A and B are shown apart, each in its own frame.
Chain A
Amino acid sequence: EIVMTQSPATLSVSPGERATLSCRASQSVSSNLVWYQQKRGQAPRLLMYGASTRATGTPARFSGSGSGTDFTLTISSLQSEDFAVYYCQQSNNWSPITFGQGTRLEIK
């Protein structure tokens, strides 16, 4: 099983500032890394796939980077609607697909 570790668990940032979220895989997942945003009471929303490709509808202020074991999701200028929980997920190995434990992005 590939273990995905996200840091920090909680990130407090002011609106308009930059947020950087990290995700590390226990072994290489190449560029097969996915990011989701989840708001309370809602299903996750696909943000990024292939580590750095924005999904349809993802604003340009979201960017993803990394390959192998270390990945980053950056939100360049936080908007009020961006405060949520973010999950990374590896899609390199079906046995099994695994998620990180999530990073809660909260308003400072």
Chain B
Amino acid sequence: QPQLQESGPGLVKPSETLSLTCTVSGGSIRAETYNWGWIRQPPGKGLEWIASVHYSGSTYDNPFLRSRVTISVDTSRNQFSLKLSSVTAADTAVYYCARSYIGPWAPGEWGPGTLVTVSS
């Protein structure tokens, strides 16, 4: 089982871009049979899927966030990343990275999550 670990700034100013990286260890991000993705959870609230990507470059994203989201894969570093632009306080959340078998999204491996606070 691979391990996933999120990293990035814990504090982002309003209107700036949130950037997070998920490092995969114990497995290759180039695996054909997996998609990788980001999910977030505002404090005390439920889960929201943000976007998913296959190492080949295929992406799926939440249409409600699409204009602000970029998801990408860096196979040389065995990482994938999330950029969310023009953040507001509503983007404050724990951000999780996760891995799912290709096909219907059902991630069995998750990172521990990282809290990102949007505040000036």
Are A50 and B104 in touch, CB under 8 angstroms? yes
- B 93-113 to A, binary, CB cutoff 8 A, 1 in contact else 0: 000101000001111101111
With A49-B104, A50-B104, A99-B47 known as contacts, the answer to whether A94 contacts B60 (CB < 8 A) is: yes
Q: Which residue of A lies closest to B6 (CB)?
A: A43
With A43-B111, A43-B113, A87-B47 known as contacts, the answer to whether A95 contacts B63 (CB < 8 A) is: yes
Q: Which residues of A contact B104 (CB under 8 A)?
A: 32, 34, 49-50, 91-92
Residues 89-108 (chain A) with a chain B CB within 8 angstroms: 89, 91-92, 94-102
A92 to B64 alpha-carbon distance, docked (Å)? 17
Are A96 and B112 in touch, CB under 8 angstroms? no
Are B106 and A96 in touch, CB under 8 angstroms? no
Q: Which residue of B lies closest to A101 (CB)?
A: B46
- A 42-82 to B, binary, CB cutoff 8 A, 1 in contact else 0: 11111001100001100000000000000000000000000
Tell me how many residues of A have a C-beta within 8 Å of chain B: 26
Q: Which residues of A contact B106 (CB under 8 A)?
A: 34, 46, 49-50, 55, 89, 91
Inter-chain pairs besides A89-B106, A99-B47, 7 sampled, C-beta below 8 Å:
A49-B106, A50-B106, A96-B64, A97-B49, A97-B62, A97-B105, A102-B46
Interfacial residues, chain A to chain B (CB-CB below 8 A): 1, 32, 34, 36, 42-46, 49-50, 55-56, 87, 89, 91-92, 94-102
Q: Name 20 interchain pairs, CB-CB below 8 A, sorted by A.
A: A34-B105, A36-B47, A43-B96, A43-B110, A43-B111, A43-B112, A45-B110, A46-B106, A55-B106, A56-B108, A89-B105, A91-B104, A95-B60, A96-B49, A96-B63, A96-B64, A97-B60, A97-B62, A99-B48, A102-B46
